[in-house]
Structure 1
Amino acid sequence: MPRQVDHDARRSEIARAVCELIAERGIEAATLRETADRAGVSMGAVQRAFSKDGMLRCALDHLSAQIKQRATARIETSPEPKSARTLLTVTLQELVFADPDQRVAARVWLAFVSHAATRAEFAEVIRTALADTLDLIVWLLEFGRSTGEIRDDVVIAPTARRLQLLVDGLTQHVVLGHTTAAAAHAEVDAAVRELTGM
């Protein structure tokens, strides 16, 4: 009998390989052949699963899934997992990609952003990711308002935008070694404390 292939696991392994290649040598290094070698699969398997652009987009989806998994794990083990402040702080900190085990994710994200400057189709993917992130931050602020944790005088939409800009800027500074993970997390903490008045 032919061996059953776990297509989801294979796509995940290919996405991980793409991310590693991009983090090490940039987007142009993530060729079908290099990706197949890194993932330990045939080039035909990669071609059947993705076009080159589809492979890169899957890598971006892989990053999003990692953020969600990490944030969920941190929130569930926090002292106040249902607190809006916890949800907002942890989510923003994860979006910075500051921790040492997030360096691959940070480099990949910045490589995608750089690539999007000259590729319209990638610019659209990045804009969608940014819009989704902004919507999430707005929701978290509104949730915090409903629980009484976010101050009544905080204007939600522009505040969400400023938080997103803070996170994006911190990512760049961490990757370039201009600031540390601890300092980046402290900046997020301070921003959230200002909104909660705590």
Structure 2
Amino acid sequence: MAEPVVTANGAHPGPEGDATRRDFIHIAAGAAAAGAGVMVAWPLINQMNPAADTLALSTIEFDTSKVQEGQQVVITWQGKPVFVRNRTAAEVAKAKADDTASLKEPQTDAERTKPGHEPMLVVIGSCTHLGCIPTFGTGDYGGWFCPCHGSHYDVSGRIRKGPAPANLVVPTYEFTSGSTIKIG
């Protein structure tokens, strides 16, 4: 009977391809290092997610049936004023007639409202010049006027005169049920 062969480090050589104790230790150490790397990286990745207060402000719902014809309501969304205006039939007709006027930023009234809800206009109430809040009904075109620097907007929120470079911004919104809108 032959004596078992023992190597210099005291291990018994096995057949080709068999895992040794040393191989197992290497695999276990590699797995532990990978796990530690994930544990270190997770807080760094997780801190890039939006905060809970930001997520809470990401959308807002508003019942437009509270806004009478010819009336405007200002609501706050993401810290910005949003004008929700229920335009009269005359204002809608004037806005559609102004579609062919000379505009700094050409946009039709239909592009600024939702189909089937043309009287309801939703725009962010910040002047596109320096972010002032324009007032309604005091401009040259029957819409908004920014008293700070003299920008005039029409009843569709399109810039007509003054230093503002763009129309009042229409936020992403949709009618969810009947007269309820969801902004954001």
| Greater fraction strand | 2
TM-score surpassing 0.5? no
Q: Give the structure with the larger helix fraction.
A: 1
The bucket for the TM-score relative to the shorter chain is under 0.3
In the superposition, the TM-score normalised over structure 1's length comes to: 0.21
